[in-house]
Amino acid sequence: MSFGKKLNVVGRRLRKVDGLQKATGAAVYADDIKLPRMLHCKILRSPHAHARIKRIDFSRCLEHPGVVAVLEGKEIPTRYGVIPWTPDEQALAADKARFVGDEVAAVAAEDELAAEEALELIDVEYEVLPPLIDPAEALREQRIKIHEDSKQGNISKHVELSFGDVAAGFDRCAAIADETFYYEGSTHTPIEPHCAIGNYDADGNLTVWSSTQIPHYVHRELSRVLELPEARVRVIQPFLGGAFGGKSDPFSLEFAVAKLSMKTGRPVKCLFTREEVFWAHRGRHPMKMRFKVGLSETGRIESVDSKILIDGGAYSSFGLVTAYYAGQLLTGPYQFGAYHFDSTRVFTNKPPCGPKRGHGSVQPRFAFEVALDMAAEKLGLDPIEVRRRNFIGENVKTINGQLITSNGFLRCLDLVEKASGWKERKGKLGFGRGLGVAGSMYISGTAYPVYPNEMPQAGIQVKLDRSGKVTIFSGASDIGQGSNSVPAYLIAEEIGCDPRDCLVVVSDTDLTPVDLGAYSSRVTFMLGIACVEAGRKLWAQISAAVAEKWGVEAARIEGSLGTIFVPETALSMSFKEAVRLAEAKFGTLGATGSYRTEKLGGDYRGGTIGASPAYSFTAHAVEVQVDPETGIWTVERVWAAHDCGKALNPTLVEGQIEGSVYMGYAEAAMEEMTYLPSGLHRGPSLLDYRIPTSLDTPELTAMIVESGDPKGPYGAKEAGEGPLHPVIPAISNAIHDAVGIWLTELPFHPGKLLRLLREKGKPRAPVPPVEERISAAGESRA
Amino acid sequence: MLGRPQKILISLDLNGQRYELAVEPRSTLLEAIRYAAGLTGSKQGCDKGDCGACTVLSNGAPILSCISLAVEHQGDRITTIEGLAHGGKVHPVQDAFDLCGALQCGFCQSGMMISAAALLERNPKPTREQIKEALSGNLCRCTGYTKILEAVEVASGQRQLAELDPRPTTGSPA
């Protein structure tokens, strides 16, 4: 979707519409909101990983000075979940606590300290149950069930899909890599902790301000759980201090502040502590993966087989989708001859995992891209060359039935090859220094909404004022990626106004059209299409009115940055004058646009999961330096080339690439969500968990490839999640190039590297079957 | 009413304006700034000195206001992000952060820009390594720091604005 015309706004490095609000500290985030008579809420959490709640006694708590109201799970017992098929969460656990940190009760008090003190005065009688911490044990265990109503043991979701004859494919192979990988869990750690304010007013309307990236789903679930009509519930997302998927579930605090406000008739705020953010989690799933990748003599990927055990934590969250994504999103940018995957997500008594940036597909991508290098090495094939040879192409279907439209992967490979000096330097850097490469593919939104319906996934409303002001109502959630600015850029491009004359009213379910939220890299693509549609309707009116005035054909009229004109003539007027002419001719001016789901995906059960209207592609090259004495490795530079279709604003796209590379690097280098055998987190603080500082983060070069997607707005596709994937396997592959060992477990601690270096050269013991290895790995970890 | 120790009156020079604030002995400087004075630009990301989002200047030096007691700053000159702009113009650091796309979610950036401004005050032409060092106490989760480092280089006049294609002028075709 694009004009042949010259672009005035799209593609330029413009400022964000709200950048200076953020720069000056004026932007209001959830915890900056203070309402008259506001109470403060604190949530009591389970000290046990698995325990039945027998009785909660609030009598001592209610006597504490400042306490106004208390809340327990049985008052709002309706089960919910972001995926409507797996509602297994309660705002506060009414029957069982399922992890250390699970929410059990809440208090509202005159101030935060009083609420905090009061928590200690709540007496909960628990019947402690044996916890299941290790996923392999949870898979085997039939007697202890984390969710009593699970159909099968502790299995959250099992998916097995097969495409083509995998066994016959392996028979044709000249080289096979068969390896077990482990991807450690990690969490988002947005710098803003979760916060919500509920206000139930005297007229029976509930307003919840929340640091959520899914206001629409929070709206639906609040209504259901609190038994209020949807029309009486309003969800407002203020400025949001980072999310990365960590704020894309409804959370206990949203229900707690709402219900406590209904009970007290006063506004109630709840702000998570940093420790509570670690409990809320929904981060990267730990995955144990066996991958078998087979190449033909010419390096063609004949067959891929994977078996994946996913540690889901205590609740479903998006887990149904995770189990699918672990297999469904791997089928590009390379052509597979045959493919089979078997993924199982199990419940464990740990904080629930969910969708962290690159949901479900970062882990198998790591395993696959390393296994691909292992197999290519056996054939003596260059890692870039083997990726080129298997390029799937444009306008093709993947083996699992997903339609790929534009595909700039080869250009991504070319760019990182050139920038890294690959041809001249690969294999010539000496022991201890190496180059690695990896590729990936990601979705630009999911073709289907999480709850089936025929309505649009994204919508936009635009109001034109005779002052020249353009007010755009957008339901999209800006989580830092810039979705508040995208509508201003696109509408301004379409109707010729100055983007700075656009006011973008955002993410307020009472004021803005429904947008399903900031997840699956869907926003720019879907919101963008809605904007273009609305803009073109308005331009038709503006250009018709101006054409009538000037007596020229409407098609000759152009608009740019606040001026409406006919090129190569003296005919010119301000945008404001043009709007006045249009308003006089057509009446009050406004338009809507929407993005509707299209029918896509494979014709089999689960074939729509992973179906996207467009896919992005990425290639990274990494240069590492390894100290073989200490095992310490450093990244000299990352070259990241990403096909985003069209960069609507290159500065913002680069920012997404850079942020993604950083986050992937962090997972490779240091981040891990690990627990004691009791289920207690080993260090739920930023200091103990450790995320990279400016000194830890490698220098990186972001490069944009524009393949111009035929469906995307001005050709645009996603940029926010895809570029996270390749850096992790590229580092592993670079370390192999440097010192000859394969790192197959994250994070790549120097200790692991050193151990492998010392083992190198020793004969390897026969490899036991994957189930035994998975269970052995689990036991040694616990 | 809540059975707490009596509040203590402290006087702060907050962004050039005198504030008299009644704070509990346990109150942090960040709580005094955000909740007592109502200047919400300084952020609380961890409340234990790990993330740097609460960074303010105390008598010109960057400090972590979430682990500083308010009562210990009696009479001090405190500068928050709201006080960085002067004479109706934003500080060069603020302008550069916006221009360079260093502000993604923006939550860590109040503290980050305060640290950057303090750096440029003591070292107007820092090297890239010096910038990294000076900002290493401020965690950012969005940007990978790249655009932040660029912004500080722009603010210190070491990187050209022209490379960054600043916003178009109003009202005329490009």
User: Residue B166 above 60 pLDDT?
Assistant: no
Alpha-carbon gap, residue A119 to A96, rounded angstroms: 18
Q: Which residues of B touch A661 (CB under 8 A)?
A: 144
Burial class of residue A297, CB neighbours in 10 A (0-12, 13-18, 19+): exposed
User: Residue A337 above 50 pLDDT?
Assistant: yes
Q: Which of A389, A382, A374 is nearest to A301 (CA)?
A: A389
Q: Which residues of B touch A565 (CB under 8 A)?
A: 173
Listed by number, the residues of chain B in 67-106 with a beta carbon closer than 8 Å to a beta carbon of chain A are 80-82, 84-85, 90, 94-95, 97-101, 103-106
Q: Which residues contact A145 (CB under 8 A, 6 or more apart)?
A: A153, A154
Q: Which residues of B touch A703 (CB under 8 A)?
A: none
Q: Phi-psi bin for A491: left (phi > 0), alpha (psi -120 to 50), beta? A: alpha
Q: Per the CB < 8 Å rule, is B167 touching A700?
A: no
Q: Which residues contact A476 (CB under 8 A, 6 or more apart)?
A: A458, A483, A484, A486, A487, A506, A507, A515, A518, A523, A527
Which residue type occupies A584? Answer: A
By C-alpha distance, the chain B residue nearest A242 is B105
pLDDT range class, residue A251, cuts 50, 70, 90: very high
Q: Which residue has the tokens 């006080």?
A: B83
Q: Give yes or no for B159 touching A (CB within 8 A).
A: no
Q: What is the pLDDT of residue B1?
A: 52
Distance from CA of B140 to the nearest CA of A (A): 7
Q: Which residues of B touch A20 (CB under 8 A)?
A: 90, 94, 98
Q: Are A206 and A226 in contact (CB under 8 A)?
A: yes
pLDDT range class, residue A112, cuts 50, 70, 90: very high
Average pLDDT over residues A128-136: 98
Residue of B45, B132, B173 with shortest CB distance to A694:
B132
Would you list the DSSP string of A538-555?
A: HHHHHHHHHHHHHTS-GG
Compare A121 and A4 and report the one with higher pLDDT.
Answer: A121
User: Residue B170 above 60 pLDDT?
Assistant: no
- Homologous superfamily (CATH) for B92-164: [2Fe-2S]-binding domain (1.10.150.120)
Strands in A96-97's sheet, in edge-to-edge order, are: A96-97, A51-57, A123-128
Best residue of A14, A22, A572 to probe chain B, by most B CBs closer than 10 Å = A22
Share of chain B above pLDDT 70, in %: 91
Compare B125 and A766 and report the one with higher pLDDT.
Answer: B125
Please give the backbone phi and psi of residue A267, each rounded to the nearest 5 degrees, phi first: -65, 145
Q: What is the pLDDT of residues B44-54, one digit of tens each?
A: 999 999 999 99
**For chain B, which residues make up each domain, given as ranges?**
8-83, 92-164
Q: What is the pLDDT of residue A771?
A: 54
Best residue of A107, A191, A485 to probe chain B, by most B CBs closer than 10 Å = A191
Q: What is the pLDDT of residue B87?
A: 87
Q: Are B112 and A42 in contact (CB under 8 A)?
A: no
Element (H, E) at A161: strand A155-163
Please give the backbone phi and psi of residue A578, each rounded to the nearest 5 degrees, phi first: -65, -40
Q: Which residues of A touch B50 (CB under 8 A)?
A: 274, 685-687
Looking at every residue in chain A, the average pLDDT score rounds to 96
Alpha-carbon gap, residue A188 to A671, rounded angstroms: 10
Q: What is the pLDDT of residue A655?
A: 98
Q: What is the pLDDT of residue B167?
A: 44
Distance from CA of B49 to the nearest CA of A (A): 9
Q: Per the CB < 8 Å rule, is A694 touching B136?
A: yes
Average pLDDT over residues A135-163: 96
Q: Which residues of A touch B45 (CB under 8 A)?
A: 191-193, 241, 274, 686
Report the residue count for chain A: 782
User: Residue A610 above 70 pLDDT?
Assistant: yes
Burial class of residue A556, CB neighbours in 10 A (0-12, 13-18, 19+): middle
Q: Per the CB < 8 Å rule, is A697 touching B133?
A: no
Strands in A206-210's sheet, in edge-to-edge order, are: A67-72, A103-109, A39-45, A268-271, A195-200, A206-210, A233-236
Residue of A12, A652, A660 with shortest CB distance to B101:
A652
Average pLDDT over residues A191-214: 98
Q: Per the CB < 8 Å rule, is B3 touching A65?
A: yes
Topology, domain B8-83: Ubiquitin-like (UB roll) (3.10.20)
Alpha-carbon gap, residue A273 to A73, rounded angstroms: 21
Bridge-partner residues for B6, per DSSP? Answer: none
Q: Which residues of A touch B1 (CB under 8 A)?
A: 65-66, 110
Size of interface A-B (CB pairs under 8 A): 211
Would you list the DSSP string of A439-469?
A: EEEEESS-SS-SS--SS-SEEEEEEE-TTS-
Kindly state the tokens that stand for A365.
């991508």
Distance from CA of A18 to the nearest CA of B (A): 9
Q: Which residues contact B5 (CB under 8 A, 6 or more apart)?
A: B24, B25, B26
Strands in B61-64's sheet, in edge-to-edge order, are: B17-23, B8-14, B77-79, B55-58, B61-64
Domains and CATH numbers, chain A: 19-27+456-595 (3.30.365.10), 33-129+191-242+247-280 (3.90.1170.50), 156-187+282-447+603-781 (3.30.365.10)
By C-alpha distance, the chain A residue nearest B27 is A113
Q: Which of A549, A521, A386, A381 is nearest to A457 (CA)?
A: A521
Kindly state the tokens that stand for A33.
């909101």
Residue of B95, B136, B171 with shortest CB distance to A562:
B171
Alpha-carbon gap, residue A249 to A81, rounded angstroms: 7
Best residue of A498, A693, A694 to probe chain B, by most B CBs closer than 10 Å = A694
Q: What is the pLDDT of residues A475-505, one digit of tens each?
A: 999 999 999 999 999 999 999 999 999 999 9
Provide the Cα torsion A60, A66, A68, A72; round to 10°.
Answer: -50
Q: Are A217 and A477 in contact (CB under 8 A)?
A: no
Q: Per the CB < 8 Å rule, is A24 touching B103?
A: no
Please give the backbone phi and psi of residue A199, each rounded to the nearest 5 degrees, phi first: -140, 110
Q: What is the pLDDT of residues A30-81, one digit of tens each?
A: 999 999 999 999 999 999 999 999 999 999 999 999 999 999 999 999 999 9
User: Residue A1 above 50 pLDDT?
Assistant: no
Distance from CA of A250 to the nearest CA of B (A): 20
Q: Do domains B8-83 and B92-164 have the same CATH topology?
A: no
Alpha-carbon gap, residue A13 to A710, rounded angstroms: 23
Alpha-carbon gap, residue A65 to B24, rounded angstroms: 17
Q: Which residues of B touch A486 (CB under 8 A)?
A: none
Q: What is the pLDDT of residue B93?
A: 98
What are the helix (H) ranges across A621-710?
Answer: 650-669, 686-689
Distance from CA of A440 to the nearest CA of B (A): 20
User: Residue B100 above 70 pLDDT?
Assistant: yes
Q: What is the pLDDT of residue A50?
A: 98
Kindly state the tokens that stand for B34.
């955000």
Q: Which residue has the tokens 């990494």?
A: A622
pLDDT range class, residue A448, cuts 50, 70, 90: confident
Q: Give yes or no for B113 touching A (CB within 8 A).
A: yes
By C-alpha distance, the chain A residue nearest B1 is A65
CA-CA-CA-CA torsion sign (A618, A621, A625, A629) = positive
Q: Give yes or no for B163 touching A (CB within 8 A).
A: no
Q: Which long-range contacts (CB under 8 A, 24 or more apart) does B162-170 make?
A: B164/A13, B164/A651, B164/B99, B164/B100, B165/A12, B165/A13, B166/A13, B166/B99, B167/A14, B167/A15, B167/A500, B168/A8, B168/A12, B168/A14, B168/A561, B170/A498, B170/A500, B170/A561, B170/A562
Q: Which of B61, B53, B66 is nearest to A22 (CA)?
A: B53
Q: Which residue has the tokens 């698995």?
A: A50
Checking ipTM against 0.90, whether it exceeds it is: yes
Q: Which residues of A touch B94 (CB under 8 A)?
A: 20, 23-24
